[in-house]
Amino acid sequence: LMTQITSSLKGEKSIGDNVYTTLNTKVQKAAYYALQGQKGAVVAMDPETGKIYAMVSKPDYRPAYVKENWTELNTSKNSLLLNRATQGLYPPGSTFKVVTALEYMREHKNTYKNFKYHCTGYTTVGTLKIHCYGGEAHGTVNLEQAIEKSCNCAFVHMSEEINKGKLASLAGDLMYNSKVPINLLANSSRFVLDKKSGTNEMAHTSIGQGQTLITPLENAMVMSAIANDGVVMQPYLVENVKNIDGGVIKETKASKLSEPLEASECETLKKMLRKVVTKGTGTRAYSSHYNVYGKTGSAEYNSAKDSHAWFIGCAERGGKKIVVSVLVEGGDSGGRVAAPIADKVFHAFLD
């Protein structure tokens, strides 16, 4: 304060305060370059505190370009100014199967381990014919294998034995239809299923399609709930603000938002999601140096059945944890495109 007063009396420009972010420069750089040449977003965070280690949205921009093209940037839905990490809304695709699986386990506590389905590569429900990715026939699968192989047909079959209202309630607990409390422009995810919804909508919703939409940040928070034994922490980007003399003006403390899951449920999901990375659709995120678990997603977004690529997951070693959410627009395969990006971010933090 005295420094600012002295500068003012001398007619000098006072020095502003210093803002210290939670960003990990190594992780931010890895995420930035891993997404190079793509449209999409990467969010990396500490599930136990809510600290955001990296937030990248592509394509980015040059300040000179913004000045020259201001009108277009403010009207185009593909604007470079759109922070896809917090404002981009995308179908969650197969990443939503984590939610569907959890609700199925809750409603069939004593029998979910006996779940069996024989996949021929497609199934018919209502007026829909739903295929597994690439038309692959997975054969007979249990619940764990259905997640591991990301079997659409098994999850559609599962949806016929799930209460719509309870699934909607669980989605709400995981912040669907809510805006994340963060000091950034952010959109609310969307979940419209209710007890009046028809069979077709339920089938689509169970595999992350239909009218369900989510931001990459909120999908990171879903995985953070699992990684943090059911507790969702408020995400934040600013560690503290200090004046020129080093005094702390403002400091962010970790705060709990909710506790939507039981720790035991999280342990079960972690074991299943570990198989996704060790032998399923997410092997490109695997590492022998630390424990990784996660879920891939290929989310159709138009009538031509083009897909966005998703991966949400957690890597941990020696008490350190990092959750990563990757979305690549038009990337097609979450396993082939998004998982390798997450792998680079995991390495930057843990290696």
- pLDDT in 10s for each residue of the chain, 351 residues: 555 555 555 555 567 889 999 999 999 999 999 999 999 999 999 999 999 999 999 997 666 655 565 555 554 556 678 999 999 999 999 999 999 999 999 999 999 999 999 999 999 988 889 999 989 999 999 999 999 999 999 999 999 999 999 999 999 999 999 989 998 999 999 999 887 889 999 999 999 999 999 999 999 999 999 999 999 999 999 999 998 888 899 999 999 999 999 999 999 999 999 999 999 999 999 999 999 999 999 998 887 788 999 999 999 999 999 999 999 999 999 999 999 999 999 999 998
The answer as to whether 257 is a domain residue is: yes
The answer as to whether 298 is a domain residue is: yes
Dihedral angle sign, alpha carbons of residues 200, 206, 207, 209 = positive
Residue 291 near residue 298 (C-beta atoms within 8 A) = no
Which range marks the domain in which residue 243 is found?
A: 27-61+82-350
The answer as to whether 74 is a domain residue is: no
Residues with Cβ within 8 Å of residue 239, at least 6 apart in sequence: 20, 21, 22, 51, 251, 252
The answer as to whether 13 is a domain residue is: no
Taking the C-alpha atoms of residue 137 and residue 120, their distance in angstroms, rounded to an integer, is 4
Check which CATH number belongs to the domain holding 288 and give it.
3.40.710.10
Q: How far is CA 129 from CA 210, 213, 228, in A?
A: 14, 22, 37
Taking the C-alpha atoms of residue 280 and residue 135, their distance in angstroms, rounded to an integer, is 16
pLDDT at 321: 98
The answer as to whether 281 is a domain residue is: yes
Residue 40 near residue 327 (C-beta atoms within 8 A) = yes
pLDDT at 305: 81
pTM of the model: 0.90
Q: In the chain, how many domains are there?
A: 1
Around 105, how many Cα atoms within 13 Å sit in the side-chain half-sphere?
A: 21
The answer as to whether 315 is a domain residue is: yes
pLDDT at 304: 79
Q: How far is CA 162 from CA 173, 225, 233, in A?
A: 17, 22, 28
The answer as to whether 92 is a domain residue is: yes
The answer as to whether 9 is a domain residue is: no
DSSP conformation letters of 141-190: E-HHHHHHHT-HHHHHHHHTTS-HHHHHHHHHHTTTTS----SS--PPPB
pLDDT digits (tens, 9 = 90+) for 207-218: 999 999 999 999
Taking the C-alpha atoms of residue 205 and residue 212, their distance in angstroms, rounded to an integer, is 7
Taking the C-alpha atoms of residue 336 and residue 44, their distance in angstroms, rounded to an integer, is 19
H helix or E strand, kind and range, residue 2: helix 2-9
Helix (H, G, I), strand (E, B) or coil at 238: strand
Taking the C-alpha atoms of residue 172 and residue 180, their distance in angstroms, rounded to an integer, is 12
